[in-house]
Amino acid sequence: MKRKITDNLIAWKNEKGRKPLVVTGARQCGKTYAIKEFGREHFENLAYFNFEGNAALQSIFDYDFNIERIVTELERYSKQKISDGRTLVFFDEVQACPKAITSLKYFCEDRPGLHLIAAGSLLGVVIRQAEISFPVGKVERLQMYPMSFEEFVMAAPDGESLLAGLANYDLSRALPELYTIPLQNYLKLYYIVGGMPAAVDSFVQENDFDKVDRILDNILLDYSNDFSKHATASDIPKLSWIWDSVPKQLAKDNNKFMFSHVKEGKRAADLEDALQWLFSAGLLHKLECVTNAELPLSNNANATIFKVYMSDVGLLRVKSGIDAKTILEDTALYAGFKGPFTENFVMNELVKKGLHPYFWKSQNTAELDFIFEVKNELFPVEVKADLHTKAKSYNVFCKKYSPKKGFVLSQKNIAITTNEHTETRHLPLYLCSKII
């Protein structure tokens, strides 16, 4: 399956003054597969080293950080020559060997010609730990996520040709049914399957929702097992409480995250570290509130008022107990969760585009789903799960801040409206990736 991260990896390979690359992301989002494929396609050879449970490999880094010695021993271990410019060295599950993480500094300084990528499922968590000597300034960082909607479509048998036609389409005019019907169908399927590569591959090959559910259930179980393996003893129950509360909190009318709803009697001070663990592991995304939408937004964000979304809609669906048929048939049982579920989809798509969204709340009752900034320009986004596009809060925001351009995402086709304040682009939800 094609992943957009490959373009980032190629750019890194050809970059002057390149540093070792650290790739983080949630377990099973496709890091190992994508990096291995990149190595096989763009280098003469791939030197792959998996540190998880591998004491012999870890011991290579115990003695010192002499890179010439380390490379020689890695060659002996892998039984292959490691050459600058011709070999991709891939340290996988590198969080299992903190000294290998520290060694990246010395690879940067003493062997800059070598292409080296380090990745790990819980690397984001390990980096936060004070006892790890992370080589700040000596590495480049890249975050990987589950497959986007566009990548999901690309994996389908006719997906590439569909997207190729869309790539040259004038997005100022409505789409014909040639595009709208298959894309609407794919969006429903993406809501069911999500972007975890194992689930996507299984669905494309077998078209079996029951099997998809079993795969996603196993991934959720793996995540829970990670809590007990890699978190401190005191945080393990807290992680489970928070993890289980996220779908329930999203389903509430006021879906801002409330620590008091995680566990009776628990406060923010009790749970903040565990919540941050889940953010660092790439399992959850945080959307902070802004009441004053002046740039830069980060200076006006209120870190104490926020929403929490899961990093994959397929996992969210299974964890919420929503059957595939409920979404396919758009039953009444789905109506109450459809809005926040759609918000979660849009949040993930924005994050995968490298944007840092916030939500806006006025001092009265107006609340806008998302705002973000690009090159000192402010962009509001209103999300509607159905055809209804009346956007009162969006209009309040535009009147107050007069952004040049904004977006309303819904089930409706493309349209553009303008007023004295803002050009509003109405896009169907399946074109969320075209938002900017």
381-408 pLDDT, tens digit each: 999 998 877 889 999 999 999 999 999 9
Tell me whether residue 26 is exposed, middle or buried, using C-beta atoms within 10 angstroms of its C-beta: 0 to 12, 13 to 18, 19 or more: buried
pTM for this prediction: 0.95
CATH number, domain 5-143, options 2.130.10.10, 1.10.10.10, 3.40.50.300, 2.60.200.20: 3.40.50.300
Secondary structure (DSSP) of 287-326: EEEESS-PSSGGGGEEEEEEEEEES-HHHHHHHTT--HHH
Q: What phi-psi label fits residue 146: left (phi over 0), alpha (psi between -120 and 50 degrees) or beta?
A: beta
Predicted local distance difference test score (pLDDT) of residue 303: 92
Q: What is the pLDDT of residues 93-116, one digit of tens each?
A: 999 999 999 999 999 999 999 999
Predicted local distance difference test score (pLDDT) of residue 333: 78
pLDDT band at 131; cut points 50, 70, 90: low
Q: Provide the 8-state DSSP code for 132.
A: S
Characterize the bridge pairing of strands 423-428 and 415-418.
antiparallel
One-letter identity of residue 212: V
What is the mean pLDDT of the segment spanning 11-33?
Answer: 95
Q: What phi-psi label fits residue 25: left (phi over 0), alpha (psi between -120 and 50 degrees) or beta?
A: left
Q: What is the pLDDT of residues 1-16, one digit of tens each?
A: 899 999 999 999 999 9
CATH 3.40.50.300 in the chain, residue ranges: 5-143
Reduced to 3 states (helix: H, G, I; strand: E, B; else coil), residue 222 is helix
pLDDT band at 123; cut points 50, 70, 90: confident
**Residue given tokens 């990745």 in the structure block:** 119
What is the mean pLDDT of the segment spanning 235-255?
Answer: 92
Q: What is the pLDDT of residues 314-366, one digit of tens each?
A: 999 999 999 999 999 988 878 888 999 999 999 999 999 999 999 999 987 89
Predicted local distance difference test score (pLDDT) of residue 168: 85
Rounded-to-integer distance, Cα 343 and Cα 310, Å: 11
Predicted local distance difference test score (pLDDT) of residue 420: 82
Q: What is the pLDDT of residues 198-236, one digit of tens each?
A: 999 999 999 999 999 999 999 999 999 999 888 889 999
